[in-house]
Structure 1
Amino acid sequence: MTITIPPRDTTSDTIATVPGGQSKHARRFGLPIATALVMGNIIGGGIFLLPASVAPFGTVSLVAFAVLTVGAIALALVFGRLAERHPRTGGPYVYAREAFGDFAGFLAAWSYWITAWVSNAALAVAAVGYLDVLLPLHDSKPATIAAALLLQWLPALANLAGTRYVGAVQLVATVMKFVPLLLVAVGGLFFFDARNLGPFEASGTGTVGALSASAAILLFSYLGVESAAVSAGEVRDPQRNVGRATILGTAGAAVIYLLGTLAVFGLVPHDRLSESAAPFSDAVNVMFGGAWGGTAVACMALVSMVGALNGWTLLSAQTPYAAAKDGLFPAVFARKRRGVPTVGVLVTVVLASLLTVYNYTVGSEGVFEILVLVTTFTATVPYLLSTAAQIHYLASGQAHRVNRARLVRDGVLAAVAAGFSLWLVAGSGYAAVYQGVLFLFAGVLVYAWMSARKADAA
């Protein structure tokens, strides 16, 4: 089946344009910005809080991180291959629909959309932990909620200003975040103390159980490998740049992740790390013997997380935009202004805000971990459908022009990516799968309504 994405609609742009008819506020991303988008979305709030989230499992979580990195790179390579064939905005939605039809495409779009706005809520919660280092908020729940909402709405306003500003914010945030990460990842190794590592398996669930459970939480740190593919329509020369940006961004993030997490484990005593709300700040304080370093890291971590929220807000609107163009999401999601699907941005930030308020007001313990595990399940749906689309392409004879060596290599990568995704579903736990399935079933009802309207229109 062949799908055609209609030409980009610029009739709603009432602002000035540059030569060629493109809005001066909408600008296509080159390879550096596309790579920064991938790295900025991967290295967001996750790395700054996840060492504390997985510390209760013990140092087995470091092994999980290494295994996860192999799977994430395989997934990145698969997305690179898919983007070469389908260089259009929508990413997993486009790949699933091309291979398996409307319903599979809708499930990919729906699940990815849920992943995006739930991730925004989780990022805001993580950011509040570092904001608390600068402004004590933990004693006031209303102040904590207000801060989390502000951290979500500021990036949304940047998105509404246009893709030109999204790219600028993303580039600055990506550069800024490397300072604390490299400081801990490289400098922290000189202060490394193996006595701080704690037990290999500390949860009491066994090595395999702890490995899977910690990997399910750690997946949040690699959400974003598909960023360039989802925004392919906004990337210059997407057949060449999307794959390169995906691989470069994921590989760069992987190196920083592994070194940074290892350094934090060796700097902060295990018991203290398990209770930490700002582990990188605690690590820098250990390195320099004072609070000033931790305060500086908290500032940079906030910039990093705002950058990640900036990128994820754009991604959360791109997939519904592509699906709406094909009549599988409400038509209002297909409206663009200044290169940005404005309705998608607004709906996403409203839903993420409501979820944030709900989780804080019900008094949930481990709000960040709860939100992360939900995104683990919902993210694996579009990831599995994308890898299945690649396997379908390779097995159906469509790849007959590809040389045998590349065919075997692509088949192995797709199999590793698929196995990796299934393993994450198993490790996310019954509660996350239960909530994720409820989200999916709600989507089935939306699909029934939209497909009926599409049939009537035909």
Structure 2
Amino acid sequence: MSLPTATALVMGNIIGGGIFLLPASVAPFGTVSLVAFGLLTIGAVALALVFGRLAERHPDTGGPYVYAREAFGDFAGFLSAWSYWTMTWVSNAALAVAAVGYVHVLFPGHASPGTDLVIALGALWLPALANFAGTRYIGAVQLVSTVLKFVPLLFIAVVGLFFFDPDNLGSFNEGGGSALGGMSAAAAILLYSYVGVESAAMSAGEVRDPERNVGRATVLGTIGAAVVYLLGTLAVFGTVAHDKLVKSTAPFSDAVNAMFGGQWGGTIVAGAAVISIIGALNGWTLMSAQSPYAAAKDGLFPAPFLTKRRGVPTFGVLAAAVLASALTVINYLMGTGGVFEILVLITTFSATVPYLLAAGAQVYFLLTGRRDKVRPALFARDLTLALIAFGFTFWLVAGAGYAAIYQGVLFLFAGILVYAWMAARREARRGQQPLEDEPSGDASSGDAPTAPATPAGVR
């Protein structure tokens, strides 16, 4: 992947389907939510810079998993890989379900569970097919989809500023009470807007000149997403009356209609949303395979995850697509919405575990004097960035809510059984391997030859 492709991967994974409802979601809190968004952006950029620093000395596929294992050992690395893997395929199912609603806006008609299921499965498997074709095709899809969703969103964001009316904003702290309370409440909704900043680091092994380009792509992609988020939300706030925005189910469509009149904005925005979700699924399908691939190389995930063709871990892609499809089928055919909601809650917590471990690894490398593992740079600057990134991720955990943390921790601990099984198999294999430097011959006869000295660590 080139620098533009890696940047598109980061931006495309960050900007999914949530942006199209985000302004209406935070409107009840007033414009204090824009302040919260600004603070979150600072934390996200700090996290992006940390991933860039780590990738300079560890330009390997697996990103957060690689850093956690290097700093804290196999178990921490496994927890990072396990959490990230479960988060990706469950999130893919949620994205596919979200795409169905926008497809109905483009092609109105009588919806049925069967039709919706076919649309959702198509949204999952089309990106999977692009992944099977190799990283070149993934990059092409990612570049095209990112441009197609970035341009209309940026257009609304920039043009909307010319139609900006301060009277539409409402009050600063619409919910009443303290401004800090309103900002925290808005932040709880906005917190997961930047999940995906690690995408270039996760695929570092497939990025051209990763020591330079992973960090650049991570920062550029995060900043690009932030521009769309902040300007887009501000433009919608200023073009749609506050009382209408609070009740809106399509805030960007309402903004287009307010700017240009008519009712055609919904179709344009729905098309951009479908493209946005397909692009995000394309990138997240690759992410779902990279973390278990890196862990499998170290014997911490089953060996089939090592299967790789054209730069893509194909078994990981297949496994994630099958699991996400099964979850989607459960959602539509069996009507067990509660199970689906629980799994989505799990992802909100699972996304933070690799971030916390990666930021902690950066702090560890700096405090132990192993700055060669990160980047020869000013100690204070790198440590400050790492602490901001850790604080940002800790805020993510707090904002997930008690239910998400409870369900997520249970699922995280369930992975201990998988780790125990893989660790036992690895030890068994080690015990079965003969040592090449053992003396041969009949030791009892006293004529066993003397083995030559063997360097430490060589068999």
Same fold (TM over 0.5): yes
- Identify the range of structure 1 (191-200 vs 159-168) with the bigger mean alpha-carbon deviation: 191-200
Give SS of 2:10's match: helix
Partner of residue 285 from structure 1, selected from 234, 257, 262: 257
Q: In 2, Cα distance between the equivalents of 1:187 and 1:438?
A: 47
State yes or no: 1:295 paired with 2:273.
no
1:66 alignment counterpart: 38
State yes or no: 1:37 paired with 2:9.
yes
Partner of residue 69 from structure 2, selected from 93, 97, 106: 97
Q: In 1, Cα distance between the equivalents of 2:53 and 2:224?
A: 19
2:238 alignment counterpart: 266
- Could you tell me which runs of 5 or more consecutive residues in structure 1 were left unpaired when the two chains were aligned: 1-28
Report deviation, 1:133.
1.6
Deviations 1:232-271 (A, max 9, x none): 0001111111111111111121112100111122333445
Deviations 1:92-123 (A, max 9, x none): 00000000100000011111112212222232
Deviations 1:245-303 (A, max 9, x none): 11111112111210011112233344543444433223212221112233122212211
Give SS of 1:381's match: helix
1:132 alignment counterpart: 104
**Which amino acid is 2:196 matched to?**
G
State yes or no: 1:413 paired with 2:385.
yes
Give SS of 2:371's match: coil
- Identify the range of structure 1 (142-151 vs 395-404) with the bigger mean alpha-carbon deviation: 395-404
1:197 alignment counterpart: 169
2:217 alignment counterpart: 245
Partner of residue 338 from structure 1, selected from 286, 310, 314: 310
Bigger Cα Rg: 2
Q: In 2, Cα distance between the equivalents of 1:386 and 1:308?
A: 23
Superposition map of 1:19-418 within 5 A: 29-136=1-108, 140-201=112-173, 207-359=179-331, 374-399=346-371, 406-418=378-390
- Could you tell me which runs of 5 or more consecutive residues in structure 2 were left unpaired when the two chains were aligned: 431-459
| CA 58–245 in structure 1, closer or farther in 2 if over 3 Å, else same | same
Q: In 1, Cα distance between the equivalents of 2:400 and 2:103?
A: 28
Report deviation, 1:374.
3.8
**Which amino acid is 1:108 matched to?**
S
Q: In 2, Cα distance between the equivalents of 1:408 and 1:215?
A: 28
- Identify the range of structure 1 (298-307 vs 65-74) with the bigger mean alpha-carbon deviation: 298-307
Deviations 1:115-171 (A, max 9, x none): 212222232233233223212368534433332222122111111122111011001
Q: In 2, Cα distance between the equivalents of 1:91 and 1:56?
A: 37
Report deviation, 1:387.
0.5
| CA 354–270 in structure 1, closer or farther in 2 if over 3 Å, else same | farther
Aligned residues: 430
Q: In 1, Cα distance between the equivalents of 2:43 and 2:188?
A: 12
| CA 446–365 in structure 1, closer or farther in 2 if over 3 Å, else same | closer
Deviations 1:412-431 (A, max 9, x none): 00000111111111111111
Q: In 1, Cα distance between the equivalents of 2:230 and 2:198?
A: 20
Give the share of equivalent positions with the same residue, in percent.
72
Report deviation, 1:188.
1.2
**In angstroms, what is the RMSD of aligned CA positions?**
2.7
| CA 198–346 in structure 1, closer or farther in 2 if over 3 Å, else same | farther
**Which amino acid is 1:212 matched to?**
S
